[in-house]
Amino acid sequence: MDRDIEVGIENEHENRLLRRKEVFFRLKFDGGSPSRVEARKALVNALRCRPNLLVIDWMRAEFGKREAVGYAKIYEDEDRMREIEREHIIERNFGGVNENDT
């Protein structure tokens, strides 16, 4: 069920020390708030990055609007992401599935 989600980038910053790009975003949508999976797909398409390198740290719907704001990080490589990110954030974004297990 793909629906139209408009992505707006509020602020983008290159964090060279942690080897990642940090992005504050705004999503505009119809209907209910998008799931994390839907939001990740929309961000991957808008930012043209690999899905396994993008992590949504937080995302909140704005009261009374069909918009959500959030903060995401795009890592240079997967090893660096797993080294830095908290375990519950990785599990929220990837469902706790390790690509090597499939």
Task: Decide if 34 contacts 42 (C-beta within 8 A).
Answer: yes
Region 28-46 average pLDDT: 94
Task: Decide if 60 contacts 85 (C-beta within 8 A).
Answer: no
Read off the pTM. 0.87
Query: With pLDDT > 70 as the criterion, what percentage of the chain qualifies?
Result: 91
Asked whether the predicted pLDDT for residue 6 surpasses 80, the reply is: yes
Region 46-54 average pLDDT: 96
Asked whether the predicted pLDDT for residue 93 surpasses 70, the reply is: yes
Asked whether the predicted pLDDT for residue 100 surpasses 70, the reply is: no
Query: What span, in angstroms and rounded, lies between the C-alpha atoms of 37 and 60?
Result: 14
Region 88-97 average pLDDT: 86
The 8-class DSSP code of residue 91 comes to H
Mean pLDDT (the chain) is: 91
